[in-house]
Structure 1
Amino acid sequence: MKKRSFVQYLAFAAALLAAPAAFAGCSREIVVPVSSVGVSVIAGSDGTVTGIYPDLLRSLGTKAGCHFVFTTVPRARQELMFATGKADLLVTAMRTPARDVNGIFVPMIGHRATLISVQSDRPPITSGQDLLERRDLRVAVVRGYDYGEAYQSLVRELSKQGRLFTEVDPAAVARLLHLGAVDVTIMGPTILAGSIDREPRVAGLIDKLRMEPIPELPWGHTGIYVSRHSLKPADQEALLELLEKAAKSGVVMESFQRYHRPEILAESVRPR
């Protein structure tokens, strides 16, 4: 069976919203601060915002009567704005208890983070404890990323050991890996791969990546949070229904398959 194209999937998802029971629209513009996350969100230096999720929201919003206003901010500020009710959506994020306090989660795909490094003959890392005991390995993470309490605990301990490098975005981590300034990073492989594709200074790095899943970073879901604090109930309900229909359409998974190699997807992304 022939795969539907990304455009066909967008049209299908948008058509779902054109049914008689469709939305009355949002009462105001929906505020969506974003930072670059692989091909999920591509924040250009000129202020343009594209990628899987922004393109999907724009397409669906046209039919639903909801207008999304995207602004580019660092990831840590994006999280802070959502936590303080200054953002209506958090795009994109894995589900965590801390985020659940401030938003309602809509899962779009299955996802997990892994340890990622440049291929070498070092022995495999099999767990978080194993990583902590390999004190010669320098580890980079992105400020504001959160893959759950086990991840946060690991990051805190690495920081205490003086081995943690915290960067503003995945592209900066890719450059450190390419230069050999760090040995390992922790994030979703599709996030790093998408950043590598747009960073000419790390050309060829994607062919050298080594991905190592560990039990402390299990499969979960990534998707979009809808604010509990900033939205009127009617707008909140409309957005939740809009996102749920988009998730069921399969457009997000199809988009990841369009952008990424099978070996990258196999380690980090699967249907929800």
Structure 2
Amino acid sequence: MERQEDDVTSAQSHRQFRHGREKDEHVFRVAGRARRGRLGPGADAGVGDAVRGGGLLAADPRAGGAHRHERGDLGRRGRGVYPDLLRKVSAETGCQFEFVVVPRARVEAMFAASGADVLVPATRTSQRDLHGDFIPMMKARPMLISLSSDRAPVESLAELGERRELRVAVVRGFDYGEPYQDLLRTLKAQRRLVVEADVAAVVRALERNLADVTVMAPSILAGTLLQDSKTRPLLDRLRLEAMAELTWTDSGIYLSRHLPAKDREVLGDALERNSRSGTVWKTLQKHYPAGSYEEGLKALGAPK
């Protein structure tokens, strides 16, 4: 089953670098996705948020999480890990971020076609490397997630493909690599695939017994559950299982190569400073309760 959704993306280039850099106004497009009224995870990283002329949003599911979405400028209304980071970068560099809502399917295409300046958060892929410079912020991994039950454990995507009794709900547009795409093709052929527009719809499918399991970063699901007092109790019922094919990967931010080199340098330096200082990880810990993200996210430099 598929549903339509609204997603988000990005900002445009005026310029305004303070601190003796540039003085003209600079506004960046940031690619991502969001539901009406709330910020949801986007492409495939996890903790996601993005930007341009009207609303805050989230991107990439492997990074980890959903955040409240309110129309307005980043400085006053953005809430979440990456909105906080971008607010800090804005204060440090004078760079301005605006927000706009676009269909989810257009996010990757916009970044590839220079229609978005920043993709955040995002998992590093060879295809994205063709269009942007990647700055890692944390490590992330998707997992098999279900509500607690006494079913036999699943250890790999290959095994999941063989467990015909299990119906699998996924978010349209999430991508965790070729093993994941192989699984989707197998599930579709077996008529066990439930495709939803967003994470909230996946939660409903699990809760209503329309699906048995899902695959995504635990922090993405946790972020969605935390938004609603009715779904928050489900956090204690989550069953998380590591899949052999889904290993830890870098999650972070892409800066488009269509940006002027000086702009990329200024933004890249600010983002790397915040990454090295542990700012992103500390911000994550402020937004997510202990136990809701550790299985699927870890700080850069943490033991493997």
The verdict on a shared fold, with TM-score over 0.5 as the criterion, is: yes
Aligned pair partner of 1:232 in 260, 269, 277:
260
Alpha-carbon distance in 1 for matches of 2:242, 2:209: 21
Alpha-carbon distance in 2 for matches of 1:258, 1:74: 30
Alpha-carbon distance in 2 for matches of 1:225, 1:198: 27
Q: Which amino acid aligns with 2:240?
A: M
**1:193 matched to 2:222:** yes
**1:256 matched to 2:254:** no
Q: How does 1:130-145 map to 2 (within 5 A)?
A: 130-145=159-174
Please state how far the C-alpha of 1:107 moved relative to its aligned partner: 0.6
- The Cα offsets for residues 71-115 of structure 1, whole Å up to 9 and x where unpaired, read as 234543322221221000111111122222222111100110000
Q: Tell me which moved more, 145-154 or 108-117.
A: 145-154
Q: Is the 8 A contact 1:25 1:238 kept in 2?
A: no
Q: How does 1:141-152 map to 2 (within 5 A)?
A: 141-152=170-181
Number of residue pairs the alignment of both structures matches: 253
Sequence identity (%):
43
1:91 partner SS: strand
Q: TM-score, normalised by structure 1?
A: 0.84
Q: 1:45 to 1:245 in 2, by over 3 A?
A: closer
Q: Is the 8 A contact 1:31 1:88 kept in 2?
A: yes
2:32 aligns with 34
1:206 aligns with 235
**1:168 matched to 2:197:** yes
2:186 aligns with 157
Q: Which amino acid aligns with 1:264?
A: S
Q: 1:26 to 1:117 in 2, by over 3 A?
A: farther
Q: 1:88 to 1:54 in 2, by over 3 A?
A: same
Please state how far the C-alpha of 1:200 moved relative to its aligned partner: 4.2
Alpha-carbon distance in 2 for matches of 1:113, 1:233: 33
**1:177 matched to 2:202:** no
Q: Tell me which moved more, 254-263 or 128-137.
A: 254-263
Q: 1:27 to 1:203 in 2, by over 3 A?
A: closer
Alpha-carbon distance in 2 for matches of 1:25, 1:87: 22
2:194 partner SS: strand
Q: 1:23 to 1:163 in 2, by over 3 A?
A: farther
1:153 partner SS: helix
Q: Which amino acid aligns with 1:44?
A: H
- The Cα offsets for residues 105-145 of structure 1, whole Å up to 9 and x where unpaired, read as 11100110000000000000011111001112111111222
Q: How does 1:1-272 map to 2 (within 5 A)?
A: 24=22, 28-35=26-33, 36-37=40-41, 40-41=48-49, 42=67, 44=69, 46=71, 49-228=78-257, 230-272=258-300
1:262 partner SS: coil
Q: 1:194 to 1:115 in 2, by over 3 A?
A: same
2:263 partner SS: helix
Q: Which amino acid aligns with 1:153?
A: D
Q: Is the 8 A contact 1:90 1:225 kept in 2?
A: yes
More helix by share: 1
Q: 1:268 to 1:100 in 2, by over 3 A?
A: same
Q: 1:244 to 1:121 in 2, by over 3 A?
A: same
- The Cα offsets for residues 129-180 of structure 1, whole Å up to 9 and x where unpaired, read as 1100111211111122222222222222222222112222211111211111
Q: Is the 8 A contact 2:92 2:270 kept in 1?
A: no
Q: TM-score, normalised by structure 2?
A: 0.76
Q: Is the 8 A contact 1:95 1:222 kept in 2?
A: yes
Q: 1:158 to 1:98 in 2, by over 3 A?
A: farther
1:53 partner SS: helix
Alpha-carbon distance in 2 for matches of 1:112, 1:209: 16
Q: Unaligned stretches of 5+ in structure 2?
A: 1-16, 34-39, 50-66
Q: Is the 8 A contact 2:140 2:249 kept in 1?
A: yes
Alpha-carbon distance in 2 for matches of 1:54, 1:70: 11
Q: 1:74 to 1:182 in 2, by over 3 A?
A: farther
Alpha-carbon distance in 2 for matches of 1:200, 1:142: 22
